[in-house]
């Protein structure tokens, strides 16, 4: 007699969200991996810094829910490649924010239109009402999954 659990992965929301997230990330990652030799972690740092200048590694980790050592390693490799620069905050010398260099901004500018096209292709599978509902549902789930820290701003 089988001792199988009652859990069916195909219907388990956390599993489905994780697999869908990986599939969507893979579509976009083909662009930055192939053309710019960037890992998922490196691209996430570039994307966050492209949207928010002068964040520390800790702040990047908080915004992406990546662990701090992964952010530190990825940031170090991007600094070595000249894609990121680390500075010292004049007002708080303990703070060392990261910023995209000109090369980093060029990569960001090259990837973003293609990432937005990928997003459009996904959203086009939904009606306007379904897309609005999906946005609202994701925001509600984010508040349950992370009640103390907002995962994103609902602009």
CA 122/CA 141 separation, integer angstroms? 20
Q: What is the pLDDT of residue 96?
A: 86
Give the count of domains, the chain: 1
Higher pLDDT, 154 or 62: 62
Does residue 40 lie in a domain region? yes
Q: What is the model's pTM?
A: 0.85
Residue 3 banded pLDDT, cuts 50, 70, 90 = low
Range of the domain at 133: 12-145
pLDDT of residue 91: 76
- Give per-residue pLDDT as tens, 36-60: 999 999 999 999 999 988 899 999 9
Tens of pLDDT, residue by residue over 56-114, are 999 999 999 999 999 999 999 999 999 999 988 777 777 889 999 999 999 999 999 99
Band of pLDDT at residue 1, cut at 50, 70 and 90? very low
Structure tokens at 109: 């500018």
Find residue 150's DSSP bridge partners. Answer: none
What CATH number does residue 86 fall under?
1.10.10.10
pLDDT tens sequence across 119-144: 999 999 999 999 999 999 999 999 99
């Amino acid at each position: 007699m089988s001792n199988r659990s009652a859990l069916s992965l195909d219907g388990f929301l956390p599993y489905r969200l994780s697999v869908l997230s990986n599939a969507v990330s893979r579509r976009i990652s083909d662009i930055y991996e192939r053309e710019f030799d960037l890992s998922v972690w490196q691209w996430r740092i570039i994307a966050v810094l492209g949207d928010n200048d002068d964040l520390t590694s800790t702040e990047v980790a908080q915004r992406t829910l990546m662990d701090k050592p992964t952010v530190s390693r990825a940031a170090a490799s991007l600094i070595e490649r000249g894609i990121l620069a680390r500075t010292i905050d004049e007002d708080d010398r303990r703070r060392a924010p990261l910023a995209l260099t000109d090369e980093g901004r060029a990569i960001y500018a090259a990837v973003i239109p293609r990432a937005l096209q990928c997003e459009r292709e996904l959203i086009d599978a939904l009606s306007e009402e379904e897309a609005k509902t999906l946005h609202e549902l994701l925001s509600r789930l984010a508040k349950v999954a992370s009640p103390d820290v907002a995962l994103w701003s609902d602009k």
